[in-house]
Amino acid sequence: MGYSFTNAWGASWETYRANWLKLTGLSVIYLLAIMPMWGAQMVQVIANVLQKEKPESAEMAAALGSLGGILGCVALLYAIFVVIPLCVGVFWVVIRAVRTKEVEFSDILQGFRRFPRVLGIYLLVVIAQFVPMILGFAVLIAIVVFGVGTERFKDGVQWTDFDDYSRLALVGGLGWLLACVIVSWWIQLRTVFSLAVVCDSKLGAPGIIESVETSWRITRGNALSLLGLIITVSVVMWASVCCCVLPVVFFGAPLTVVILATAYDQLLAQDGQATNPVVVQP
């Protein structure tokens, strides 16, 4: 079955209905894994609240702020070495479930087994997405600085500080920034399945560049459809979040991952790759 928006949604329901309990277990594992990161963020939030709302607790706020900074660094390392490969492993489990209609929890280690490549792809994709954003903001900041001067820029910039030509340049800079944001989103859509490819053993354990190239190839001509798919599954996710925690765990999160995994497998099949299940090799 080739990929389409409706095919991805339709085929995902069968996988979800057959494995919803195990998929819920995957959601619980992932949510438990990211709790330490939430804890680090909560410490920093409490420190900021104390600093703003209770000036008399400045010493405690400073101590919590320092602790939050340390925990933030630890959380970053934890995200790199634990959360990212675990997220990749969870997605691989769901891909295998889409193909075989069975969930094998042992597959969750696939991201750790190929951690160097997973980390390399993650960094490469993040850098590729941030380059257009950096270029966009750099040009906009340069226009503002040269338009009003460095001294006034330090004191705060108002629209009335610009002359007519500077205002025209500023509008052009904002348009350039919007174009860079669109390019960044487009790169994200085209590389969204890179981490799935690197763990897909049926593709011959591809390297970093090969994985990105494969994701780029299979998403060619489907970027807008994938954008619509991601928007709709995001709506499902946030709707379940607004309802309560339980709908997220047993419905929102599992169904979202199943739909994305189904889209990946259909795109791979459409690209001419076989979809027969294989034994995963470390």
Percent residues over pLDDT 90 in the chain: 51
Name the residue type at position 182: I
Task: Determine the distance from the C-alpha atom of residue 183 to the mean position of all C-alpha atoms in its chain, rounded to a whole number.
Answer: 16
155-197 pLDDT, tens digit per residue, is 566 656 566 777 787 788 889 999 999 999 999 999 999 999 9
Instruction: Find, among 173, 212, 206, 172, the residue nearest to 194 by Cα.
Output: 212
Task: Provide the phi-psi class of 104: left if phi over 0, else alpha when psi is between -120 and 50, else beta.
Answer: beta
Name the residue type at position 154: K
pLDDT of residue 142: 83
Query: Full-prediction pTM beyond 0.95?
Result: no
Q: At what angle do helices 84-100 and 115-148 cross, to 10 degrees?
A: 120
Angle at 123 between CA 117 and CA 127, to 5 degrees: 145
pLDDT of residue 278: 41
Placement of tokens 């607004």 in the chain = 242
pLDDT of residue 274: 43
What confidence tier does 132 reach under pLDDT thresholds 50, 70, 90?
Answer: very high
SS (H, E, C) 115-136: HHHHHHHHHHHHHHHHHHHHHH
Range of weakest confidence among 20-34, 121-135, 142-156: 142-156
| 4, burial (CB in 10 Å: exposed 0-12, middle 13-18, buried 19+) | middle
Helix ranges (H only) for 149-163 are: 150-155
45-58 pLDDT, tens digit per residue, is 887 777 777 766 67
